[in-house]
Chain A
């Protein structure tokens, strides 16, 4: 390219960011691995990572995984029909109705969670209304159910957006061609719409699953102090117990799940393209 006089000048221009990325991305990540793989006296150990198998820890990890999977599934089941309906409306780009569905994304994350604290409390808004109607009250604050509700409410726009975009991009002629060739509604959906929207589904799943798996604010606010997720445990190791080694070790475990999720996403994405 002629834009730069030489490769050297391009390199010079990129160097501030390269330095920045090494100092603030690569080195910190290496430190997590360093602390996670050493003990307090500096010796190499797998103990920090192995701690995840201890009863309290493995319980929190299992609970995190289960709740994250349920939340992701609920988000998907709510978003897919929504995406199909919105896509079938053939809206203009930036239509208000689409904006409306992703708008809560810009509202502060903690305030969104706070709303559900207010609604679900023992003497909260929902129970007041139920009592007024002489209906049995709901006691789901400080339960797994409340945490799932909080996750779904917070992360739903992250699922809607990619699914809607993927469905909206599907060329209608492809669907019409399938119909012309004799495919029924179900077959068209399974063999055309679903595979073509796969990239959107996968990015939606990642964008919901990872934050749901690693959250600690939602569980603190809606789960009370009794229900601990793996995010809460890591947070406590750093901010209350000051055990950087154990906290880092558990973070490595989290990263293993993130990498696994990435591999699965890449594999199924390639499968879909072929």
Chain B
């Protein structure tokens, strides 16, 4: 009896989470513009979407910002984590304290503070400012996932490598880097998803005329929802689902090999 109740509870929460998304997917195939009635199956919203230049450019902006922000933040974050080993504990805690600020602070305050900086410096807002903002809020996520790995590094192996005649860089790449790579990968993935999903900080640092997917959807919604947006949601949902399956399968496959 208890098991049944538990399963029902899980089912209810899953329905609450997924029924709305499924509704959107169904509506994306509805030929009637009204959301209240079913006008038959159609793919025209998908076709409209694919020929929509605004969506295409927003998608391109979103992806290029996410990729670049991930690369930069992963490099900077990883280098800093490694450097932390050699720093005094006082300096280390100051750096970590500052790094925590964007994580703890509300996105709206982070967004506004960066907007003030860019306006004050007369940097015209657009691609560059969004990229700078995204790198800034991504670095903490990278450091947060790389730092535990760095703390657990076994330096005896590194020293043994040096004693056996390895050069410092060689010993580093052979003994230390492999230990922290999983942290770097998960940090980079986290940075990428954070960047894709961000709306608030992008909204304040984007300037007018430059749109990412999030800001485009926000503007569209304010004007009234078009069925093309449903098609877009359905596509994004399927892509996210497939990506996550791959990500979640990958580490399991690796442990099986071992």
Chain A stretch 158-212: residues in CB contact (< 8 A) with chain B: 210-211
Q: Report A214 CB to chain B, min CB distance, Å.
A: 4
Q: Is A66's beta carbon under 8 Å from chain B? A: no
Chain B stretch 105-163: residues in CB contact (< 8 A) with chain A: 105-110, 112-117, 120, 132-133, 135-136, 139, 155, 158-159, 162
| Also in contact, A238 and B105, with CB within 8 A (given A24-B132, A104-B17) | no
| Also in contact, A108 and B197, with CB within 8 A (given A13-B83, A17-B76, A85-B6) | yes
Segment of B42-50, B178-186, B210-218 engaged in the interface with chain A: B210-218
Task: Please report the C-alpha to C-alpha distance between residue A3 and residue B159 in the assembled complex, in whole angstroms.
Answer: 9
Q: Report B98 CB to chain A, min CB distance, Å.
A: 5
Task: Please report the C-alpha to C-alpha distance between residue A214 and residue B110 in the assembled complex, in whole angstroms.
Answer: 11
Q: Is A28's beta carbon under 8 Å from chain B? A: yes
Asked if B120 contacts A31 (CB within 8 A), the reply is: yes
What would be 8 A-B contacts, judged by CB atoms less than 8 Å apart? Answer: A3-B82, A3-B86, A16-B80, A18-B95, A106-B244, A125-B36, A127-B36, A255-B109
Q: Report A71 CB to chain B, min CB distance, Å.
A: 14
| Also in contact, A9 and B252, with CB within 8 A (given A217-B200, A255-B105, A258-B105) | no
Interface centre among A3, A78, A100 (most CB of B within 10 A): A3
Residues in B with CB closer than 8 Å to A127 are 36
Q: Is B221's beta carbon under 8 Å from chain A? A: yes
Asked if B106 contacts A128 (CB within 8 A), the reply is: no
Q: Tally A-B pairs: CB < 8 A.
A: 240
Q: Is A117's beta carbon under 8 Å from chain B? A: yes
Q: Report B110 CB to chain A, min CB distance, Å.
A: 8
Task: Please report the C-alpha to C-alpha distance between residue A164 and residue B200 in the assembled complex, in whole angstroms.
Answer: 28
Asked if A107 contacts B237 (CB within 8 A), the reply is: yes
| Also in contact, A114 and B115, with CB within 8 A (given A3-B155, A121-B35) | no
Q: Is B164's beta carbon under 8 Å from chain A? A: no
Q: Report A116 CB to chain B, min CB distance, Å.
A: 6
Asked if B83 contacts A125 (CB within 8 A), the reply is: no
Asked if A1 contacts B199 (CB within 8 A), the reply is: no
A259 nearest CB neighbor, chain B only: B104
Q: Is A40's beta carbon under 8 Å from chain B? A: no
Asked if B108 contacts A214 (CB within 8 A), the reply is: yes
Residues in A with CB closer than 8 Å to B102 are 25
Residues in B with CB closer than 8 Å to A6 are 86
Q: For the complex, count residues of B whose C-beta is within 8 A of A.
A: 84
Residues in B with CB closer than 8 Å to A269 are none
Asked if A16 contacts B79 (CB within 8 A), the reply is: yes
Q: Is A111's beta carbon under 8 Å from chain B? A: yes
Interface centre among B17, B91, B135 (most CB of A within 10 A): B17
Residues in B with CB closer than 8 Å to A31 are 113, 116-117, 120
Q: Is A32's beta carbon under 8 Å from chain B? A: yes
Q: Report A234 CB to chain B, min CB distance, Å.
A: 6
Asked if A17 contacts B79 (CB within 8 A), the reply is: yes
Q: Report A240 CB to chain B, min CB distance, Å.
A: 13
CB-based closest 8 A-B pairs: A10-B86, A28-B113, A4-B86, A13-B83, A115-B20, A14-B83, A214-B106, A17-B80
Asked if A153 contacts B20 (CB within 8 A), the reply is: yes
Residues in A with CB closer than 8 Å to B1 are none
Q: Is A56's beta carbon under 8 Å from chain B? A: no
| Also in contact, A1 and B86, with CB within 8 A (given A26-B98, A248-B116) | yes
Asked if B218 contacts A104 (CB within 8 A), the reply is: no
Q: Is B61's beta carbon under 8 Å from chain A? A: no
Q: Is B64's beta carbon under 8 Å from chain A? A: no
A82 nearest CB neighbor, chain B only: B13
Residues in A with CB closer than 8 Å to B27 are 118, 125
Task: Please report the C-alpha to C-alpha distance between residue A262 and residue B212 in the assembled complex, in whole angstroms.
Answer: 32
Interface centre among B83, B84, B217 (most CB of A within 10 A): B83
Residues in B with CB closer than 8 Å to A260 are none
Chain A stretch 1-50: residues in CB contact (< 8 A) with chain B: 1-4, 6-7, 9-14, 16-18, 20-29, 31-32, 35
Q: Is B223's beta carbon under 8 Å from chain A? A: no
- Our pick among A12, A86, A96, A106 for the contact of B193 (Cβ within 8 Å) is A106
Q: Is A231's beta carbon under 8 Å from chain B? A: yes
Q: Is B166's beta carbon under 8 Å from chain A? A: no
Q: Report B86 CB to chain A, min CB distance, Å.
A: 3
Asked if B88 contacts A7 (CB within 8 A), the reply is: yes
| Also in contact, A25 and B240, with CB within 8 A (given A3-B85, A121-B35, A125-B35) | no
Q: Report B15 CB to chain A, min CB distance, Å.
A: 12
Residues in B with CB closer than 8 Å to A248 are 112, 116
